[in-house]
Amino acid sequence: MSEKLLEIKNLKTSFRIKDDYYAAVDDVTLTLNKNEVLGIVGESGSGKSALAFSVMGLHNRAKIEGNILFKDQDIANISPAKLNKLRGDDMAMIFQDPLTALNPLMIVGDQISETLLLHKKNMSQKQRKDRVISLLDQVGIPYPEHVYNQFPHELSGGMRQRVIIAIAIANQPELLIADEPTTALDVTIQAQILDLIKDLKDDMNTGIILITHDLGVVAEMADRVAVMYAGQIVEIADVHTLFENPLHPYTRSLLNSVPNTQEGQDKLHVIQGIVPSLSKLPREGCRFAARMPWIDESVHEENPVLHEIKPGHFVRCTCHKHFYFPDESKEDSNHGVS
């Protein structure tokens, strides 16, 4: 039986631009279970990081509405002191760029030790050092005693990302958010880091939110996938369903814009345009409509909501029933549900 770790309800995260607030995360509802990886995918600007930062309480000036229940406690707007206690202890985040996330003037051992010092106050100095060395070892860093005394610039990108992971897991968090954890790394190191995250999930029963625009990473790692577009979730399903039977035009466009080696892909369909900026975002109607101008406007819902097509498979707007790529005929594209 799955156990709910995080429950986000109607989350709206808005930033002030000139005199108005604009929602970068707009009415997002999701859950994450223990020992589950939830992938969040979408193009740049779709609101993935804004969502992650909201959960971690890392926005300074944003307006946060809705609920973020972490183990049944609403953390959406709790005091900074309480949040600090949770962050780095019960929940942690791995950021995309290992170089900027580390302090260049501090040896890595001390940086990991600092997290322990903040949250495990009764550890002796010797216990802390031993724990740091065992963490460095756990994340696959060779010669951990030596690396303990090194500065970030003395390590490769892959090693630095392992240090970031060591900091994130130092206190065995129940929730880990990984925001593009392998973007800055080359492919072989990427695979090693992803394996490491997978092992951690199994060893520590951690719930993981994995944010990426790399669909290959999602296919490999996630149990369920939420697709975000313009601040909203447009489709959510288990990973198998999402790749086998994607429904929303945006999901289909994302999947069809990358080459794959599987059968059934005749051609690539590149999605024209970009996610509009916050102040230009259409707030009514189907937000993806402008990027599929060949589809008749009448097929969109006025206020698109998420429909449960099959248990656990949700898709926003009914336009998916009428969608086809511009170089397909309507008749050829009987994809999805009728």
List contacts with ligand ATP (CB under 6 A). 15, 24, 42, 44-50, 213, 277-278
Q: Quick one: 51 or 86, whose CB is closer to ligand ATP?
A: 51
Strand order in the sheet with 224-229: 91-94, 175-179, 207-212, 37-41, 224-229, 232-238, 313-316, 306-310
Q: Quick one: 170 or 230, whose CB is closer to ligand ATP?
A: 230
CA dihedral (80, 83, 88, 90) in degrees, to 10, reads 170
Q: Quick one: 80 or 142, whose CB is closer to ligand ATP?
A: 80
Q: Quick one: 42 or 249, whose CB is closer to ligand ATP?
A: 42
Report the nearest approach of ligand ATP to the CB of residue 194 (Å).
Answer: 18
Q: What are 266's two structure tokens?
A: 């005749």
Report the nearest approach of ligand ATP to the CB of residue 33 (Å).
Answer: 23
What is the end-to-end Cα distance of the chain in Å, rounded? 32
Report the nearest approach of ligand ATP to the CB of residue 37 (Å).
Answer: 18
The residue type of 330 is K
Report the nearest approach of ligand ATP to the CB of residue 262 (Å).
Answer: 25
Q: Quick one: 50 or 225, whose CB is closer to ligand ATP?
A: 50
Distance from C-alpha of 12 to C-alpha of 235, rounded to nearest angstrom:
18
Q: Quick one: 157 or 276, whose CB is closer to ligand ATP?
A: 276
Q: Quick one: 47 or 152, whose CB is closer to ligand ATP?
A: 47
Q: Quick one: 169 or 278, whose CB is closer to ligand ATP?
A: 278
Q: Quick one: 101 or 155, whose CB is closer to ligand ATP?
A: 101
Report the nearest approach of ligand ATP to the CB of residue 57 (Å).
Answer: 14
Report the nearest approach of ligand ATP to the CB of residue 296 (Å).
Answer: 28
Distance from C-alpha of 90 to C-alpha of 84, rounded to nearest angstrom:
10
Distance from C-alpha of 49 to C-alpha of 45, rounded to nearest angstrom:
9
Report the nearest approach of ligand ATP to the CB of residue 22 (Å).
Answer: 7
Residue 309, classified by CB atoms within 10 Å of its CB into exposed (0-12), middle (13-18) or buried (19+), is: middle
Distance from C-alpha of 316 to C-alpha of 338, rounded to nearest angstrom:
15
Report the nearest approach of ligand ATP to the CB of residue 253 (Å).
Answer: 16
Report the nearest approach of ligand ATP to the CB of residue 149 (Å).
Answer: 34
Query: Apex CA 37: angle with CA 31 and CA 40, to 5°?
Result: 70
